Amino acid sequence: MNSLKNKVVVVTGASRGIGAEIAKLFGREQAKVVITGRNRKRLTQKEENQNCLAVISDISKKSGMKKIITLARKTFGRIDIFVNNAGVGINKPMIKISEKEFDLIYDTNLKSVFYSFKELLPIMKKQKSGHIINISSMASRIGVPGISTYASSKAALNALSEGVANEVRRDNIKISVLAPASTDTNMMSNMSGESKSPSKAKNKLTVTEVAESVIYLAKQNQNAWTSMTHLRPLAIKK
């Protein structure tokens, strides 16, 4: 297992939900953590010490991704691990979803990762190391009505990641995909239309469970490509 102490880690979409927890757990491992999001207030509240940098930025824009990577390197000198976590989901059947909504989902969930690859791969190649961890979704593997656009953006993310992993394996760059099942966050309650309540949350993953999987991936001395699905263990009724 690799130590994460002093590793430079970037987590996109760290202003709340899964990303905030991922950043917190990397902080506990004594990594240097760059947290990103668009909401200045929520993000800067989480900028705890000199080993943490908050970057306000829209990752669906090429300039937004460039800003994050430039500031992370300017502050900490390198990037060891980059977690593409920021994402959006809209629950609407195909007949109702607009082109604008389709573009928003694809620009946020897929094009942002393309921008990150274009910026990061030359840097990591020069460093002769790097790990990019992309947060997909179990929805990418099953046909759930109402979220076909979201699910297809994540399925494309899986394919993009696996292909790129095979392109860069000789450069000691690793690409991982983590596909969690339903997780108790704002996105989940917005997409399912359910209120965030303790009883509804019972069947969902917690943000900590998902973040622990990311830490597990980051610590592994694994091959160039890892794809992992994180499911909630089924509760056994007695």
Residue 72 CB, shortest distance to ligand NAP, in Å, is 14
The reply to whether 66 sits near ligand NAP by the rule CB under 6 A is: no
Burial class (CB in 10 A: 0-12, 13-18, 19+), 199: exposed
Contact characters 86-115, ligand NAP, x per CB under 6 A: xxxx------------------x-------
Asked about 112 being catalytic, the answer comes back as no
Q: Order of strands across the sheet with 52-56?
A: 52-56, 32-37, 8-11, 81-84, 130-135, 173-180, 225-230
Complex with ligand NAP: residue 11 or 168, whichever CB lies closer: 11
Task: Mark the segment that binds ligand NAP (CB under 6 A) among 34-42, 72-80, 120-128, 141-149.
Answer: 34-42
The reply to whether 58 sits near ligand NAP by the rule CB under 6 A is: yes
Q: Which of 182, 211, 218, 224 binds ligand NAP (CB under 6 A)?
A: 182
Enumerate long-range contacts of 193-201, CB under 8 Å, 24 or more apart: 193/91
Asked about 216 being catalytic, the answer comes back as no
Q: Which two tokens stand for residue 93?
A: 């059947």
Asked about 154 being catalytic, the answer comes back as yes
Complex with ligand NAP: residue 153 or 169, whichever CB lies closer: 153
Residue 78 CB, shortest distance to ligand NAP, in Å, is 22
Q: Are 85 and 136 in contact (CB under 8 A)?
A: no
